[in-house]
């Protein structure tokens, strides 16, 4: 139970830090050419570095627990996309996050939910920094493989 609690707390910290990183990126872009440009740029660079270190820590922690093996379980790709979209901490009001799922034959696939979620969350937060109107989370089958994508 202790490991589950630690993992949940660190995961929440990662999400909050990703939101802070997105916000500092937005502020840094708005201050280009002003006296605050170098300060906000450094602030954003620091939050990006902290976020990357935390994700590395989470990945190493999980890999120790799992013996460096992906934990393949039957998962529903559409549910994962909806959960990632719903779990965003304060996305910009001007950006809509929507999910698209293409026909892939079965309601579930075998994949590591945790690793897929980590990758999707990082990609979504990065897309939110540059999107003007919407971010699209997508999944579909390409060449027999389930493919998740994040676009704007």
Domain extent listing, the chain: 1-69, 70-152
Predicted local distance difference test score (pLDDT) of residue 94: 55
What number of residues does the chain have? 152
pLDDT of res. 26: 83
109 phi and psi angles, rounded to 5 deg: -135, 160
Q: What is the mean pLDDT of each run of 10 residues along the chain (152 residues)?
A: 73 80 83 85 80 72 62 79 75 60 65 82 79 80 83 74
Pairing of strands 134-142, 109-111: unpaired
User: 67 — phi, psi (to 5°)?
Assistant: 70, 35
CATH of domain 70-152: 3.30.565.10
Torsion sign, CA atoms 15, 20, 23, 29: negative
pLDDT of 97 reads 62
Give me the pLDDT at residue 89, please: 59
50, two tokens: 């902290």
- 102 burial (CB, 10 Å; 0-12 / 13-18 / 19+) is exposed
Give φ, ψ of 95 to 5 degrees: -115, 120
**Structure confidence at residue 72 (pLDDT):** 72
Q: What is the pLDDT of residue 37?
A: 83
* DSSP, residue by residue, 100-137: EE---SSS-EEE-HHHHHHHHHHHHHHHHHH-SSEEEE
Predicted local confidence at residue 148, as pLDDT = 86
């Amino acid at each position: 139970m202790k490991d589950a609690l630690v993992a949940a707390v660190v995961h929440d910290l990662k999400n909050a830090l990703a939101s802070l990183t997105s916000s500092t990126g937005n502020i840094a872009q708005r201050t280009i050419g002003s006296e605050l440009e170098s300060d906000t740029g450094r602030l954003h660079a620091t939050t990006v570095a902290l976020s990357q270190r935390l994700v590395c820590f989470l990945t190493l922690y999980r890999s120790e627990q799992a013996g460096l093996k992906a934990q393949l379980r039957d998962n529903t790709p559409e549910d994962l996309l909806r959960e990632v979209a719903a779990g965003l901490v304060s996305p910009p009001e001007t950006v809509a996050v929507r999910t698209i799922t293409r026909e892939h034959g079965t309601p579930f696939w075998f994949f590591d939910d945790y690793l897929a979620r980590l990758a999707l969350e990082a990609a979504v937060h990065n897309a939110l920094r540059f999107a003007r109107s919407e971010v699209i989370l997508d999944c579909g089958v390409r060449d027999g493989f389930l493919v998740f994508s994040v676009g704007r």
